[in-house]
Chains A and B, each alone.
Chain A
Amino acid sequence: MTRFLIRRIVFGLITLWVIITLVFVLYYARPGVDPARELAGRAVTPALLENINKEYGFNLPVIVQYWNYLKRLVPIPGQFNLGTSNVNRLPVTTIIAQAVPIDISLAVGSAILWMVLGISVGVLAARRPRSLWDRGATVFVLTGVSMPTFILGLLLLYVLYYLLTIHGIAIFPKPGSWTPFTQNPLEWAHDLLLPWITLALITAATYSRLTRSSLLETLGEDYIRTARAKGLSERRVVYRHGLRSSLTPIVTQFGIDLATVLGGAIITESIFGLPGLGLTVVQAIEVENLPVVIGIVLVASFFVVAANIVVDALYAVLDPRVRVS
């Protein structure tokens, strides 16, 4: 178990290193590109270029630049440095630190919703294949999979915020509302309700489909027959024995989706005016704020790699056979 985890973590670190190196090659060491000019953005002056060249050492040999770049990414306070925004001169780490809580909040709430919703619909469909429930679930899945996020988001915003509000029923807050959890948990949840529902409805479809197919397969296994032959209730057979084995593909998907939302839910954040990593990176691209873009790319990659390690650890917890391999 420990060896398994260590192997996965080492593998994750290697993946992260490859990404970091790719970022370096793409942004700092691409032939024919002046990286200082790129980093400076729109408000470029000779003095600024001079400064950047000095700060990043772009006149040094590439290998030395690479070494310094790696050192700046070692997560030690005082050493960790993602550069400064070329718009407001704030450290990129500060900008990201402001955005990340929003993405974590978005991810936590919507993940709970989409898991509960997706798995419930999937189980209903699997328990009665080809029934009305199953057909309803198929419609749900098709809608969820084919519905673009921005249409669903705008629709929810129009109906639940705009229409209700102009009729004097102001249940949902206006876009752009954001209250930190530490300040007021109730207000926090209230402000995030619509974005959560948007993300959850879009994502739940995948989980319904996964749960249905994986549970249908599991329910045909010999050990399910054993569970029934033991005299267990059908509920226990499905939820305890069946769903337990179906969790593996669900957990895999969950890792991917969670990392995606954590790394910035660009469309949802844009629609609901939430300044998380997604909206921040979009705004940074618009004003050619390369240091911020690079910082967010690196942080998002970190989330993906970390999520993968967590998923692997979960595998080992869920399936004892993984622990020995």
Chain B
Amino acid sequence: MPAAHAAGIFIQYHRDAMPLLAVDNLTVSFPTADGTVRAVRGLSFSVEAGKTLGVVGESGSGKSVSALTMLGLNPGADITGSAVFNGKELLTMSQHELRKIRGAEIAMIFQDPLSSLHPHFRVGWQIAEAIRAHTSASKQDAMSQAVELLRLVNIPQPERRVEAYPHEMSGGMRQRVMIAMALALKPKLLIADEPTTALDATVQAQLMELLIQMQNELGMAMIIITHDLGVIASVADEVLVMYAGRAAERADARTIFFSPHHPYTRGLLGSVPSATGVVGSRLTPIVGSPPSLISVPSGCGFHPRCPFAMETCIDDQPDLIPIAAGPNHTSACWLPPDMTGVGIAMDTARQRYASTHRGARSAKLPGVIAAVEGAAVYA
């Protein structure tokens, strides 16, 4: 094989391998009167073109802040790290350059469609405005595009609905309007931050279906942020589990659901209702609440709540390391890499391992209380 050819293949390979978005060691902190809120503490992930990344974590784990930071929508934040989108560094970009990317190449939709739409403007006008911000379309042109977009997201009678104000629509319809607005310029990446959280269950399902359909038609990549693993079960190619501003675990969706390594992921799965078909040994919520991001716990941030916490976990922060259960599977936990999966047997094995790695200071750890009581693993 001639050398040039080999190089060509190499370059080709490389181009394919380059993700659409690569975030590396991102940190975001907010100086406040009470102290510095360390909302994101060294987060790395990537999104391939046309693929869907699900970002999961309890409320307050830094999901929204990470997303907003990429678009420069976090005024007053101290930011370090890098976020390369389509070959361009977003974090050092000027506001002017960033504006050309916002809405056009990276679009975003939010949790509450009522408060996210301007109450004083008609929805058609708001969509047309997004189009006119990035193209030289005339007003009429932009408005007829708005009608087509409403039709695309399955809003009945789009010619009439463009004239409606947000308060005249239902929650589901409003979120469809937000989606239509986000898709107006055929972005390469759509970030959906809790897109269905404010809506009821049937509407949730319809909207997720719509997002998948839109992705198939437009070929964009998606980041779907949610606190509910169930929402992304059937949508995400890859899942990033976040805890206290860091990545806890990352893997393809199947691996996350069937062979999780991180006890936090394991705990989240415990709270997935059995109707989804991916259940753990029993329905067990994670005890306690996420830590204050002003004073994050030492070592592994999850240790005050982790039923398998060990002596090391109090002092040393685990990094993401490869886990054998799936391709590109990584987890940030001191438990042995082969301890993956759900179910009582694996939980017991984890507990046994943890109990042999405890020391003098372990008395306060949550798992120990459970052991003393002789009860189940989850205290």
For residue A10, give the distance in angstroms from its CB to the closest CB of chain B. Answer: 26
Verify if A321 is at the interface (C-beta below 8 Å from B). Answer: yes
Q: Which of B100, B112, B115, B120 contacts A231 (CB 8 A)?
A: B100
Q: A229-B108, A230-B103, A231-B103 are in contact. Are A244 and B120 (CB under 8 A)?
A: yes
Flag B117-131 by CB within 8 Å of A: 1 or 0 each. 111110000000110
Complex contacts, A320 vs chain B, CB 8 Å: 119-120, 165, 167
Min C-beta distance of A314 to chain B, whole Å: 13
Instruction: Decide if B95 is an interface residue (CB 8 Å cutoff).
Output: yes
Residue of A nearest to B127 (CB): A230
Asked whether A222 lies within 8 Å of B134 as measured between CB atoms, the reply is no
A286 to B165 CA separation, bound complex (whole angstroms) = 56
**B101, B115, B118, B130 — which one has the most chain A CB atoms within 10 A of its CB?**
B118
Q: Is the CB of B133 within 8 A of A222?
A: no
- For the complex, give the distance between the alpha carbons of A319 and B110 in Å: 23
A174 contacts B by Cβ under 8 Å:
no
Is residue A96 contacting chain B, with contact meaning CB distance below 8 A? no
* Most chain B beta carbons < 10 A, residue from A221, A222, A318, A324: A222
B119 near A319 with CB under 8 A, answer: yes
The residue of chain B having its C-beta at the shortest distance from the C-beta of A319 within the complex is B120
- Judge if B151 is at the interface, Cβ distance under 8 Å: no
Question: Is A37 located at the chain interface by the 8 A CB criterion?
Answer: no
Smallest Cβ distance from A251 to chain B, in angstroms? Answer: 13
A79 is an interface residue with CB less than 8 A from chain B: no
Q: Which B residues touch A324, using CB under 8 A?
A: 167
B71: CB under 8 A from chain A? yes
Q: Mark B134-168, 1 if CB is under 8 A from A, else 0.
A: 10000000000000000000000000000001010
- Name the residue on B nearest A242 (C-beta): B118
Q: Mark B8-46, 1 if CB is under 8 A from A, else 0.
A: 000000000000000000000000000000000000000
Q: Which of B246-301 contact A (CB under 8 A)?
A: none
Q: In this complex, which of A226, A227, A320 has the most chain B Cβ atoms within 10 angstroms of its Cβ?
A: A226
Tell whether A233 is near chain B: CB-to-CB under 8 Å: yes
The reply to whether B120 and A318 form a contact with Cβ atoms under 8 Å apart is yes
Which A residues are CB-close (under 8 A) to B133?
230-233, 236
Q: Interface size on B (CB < 8 Å)?
A: 29
Q: Identify which of residues 43-91 in chain B touch chain A, using a CB-to-CB cut-off of 8 Å.
A: 68, 71, 73
Q: Say if the beta carbon of B107 comes within 8 Å of chain A.
A: yes
Q: Does B189 lie at the interface of the complex (its beta carbon under 8 Å from any beta carbon of A)? A: no
Q: Tell me if B99 is interfacial: C-beta within 8 Å of chain A.
A: yes
| Partner among B95, B120, B121, B129 whose Cβ is within 8 Å of the Cβ of A230 | B129
Interface residues of A: mostly helix, strand, loop or mixed? helix
A residues near B181, Cβ cutoff 8 Å: 230
CB of B116 within 8 Å of the partner chain: yes
Please, how many angstroms separate the alpha-carbon atoms of A226 and B103 in the complex?
9
Task: Check A231 against B99 for contact (C-beta < 8 Å).
Answer: yes
> Are B95's CB and A234's CB within 8 A?
yes
Q: How far is the CB of A124 from chain B (nearest CB, A)?
A: 17
Cα separation A231 to B167 with both chains bound (whole Å): 24
B104 interface residue, CB < 8 Å from A?
Answer: yes
Do A241 and B110 have beta carbons less than 8 Å apart?
A: no
Which of B104, B107, B118, B119 interacts with A227 by CB under 8 Å? B118
Residue of A with least CB distance to B184 = A230
Known: A233-B99, A244-B120. 12 other contacts (CB 8 A): A221-B115, A222-B110, A223-B118, A225-B110, A228-B71, A229-B108, A230-B129, A231-B99, A231-B100, A232-B129, A318-B120, A319-B120
> A-B pairs with the 5 shortest C-beta distances?
A231-B103, A231-B102, A222-B115, A230-B103, A230-B130
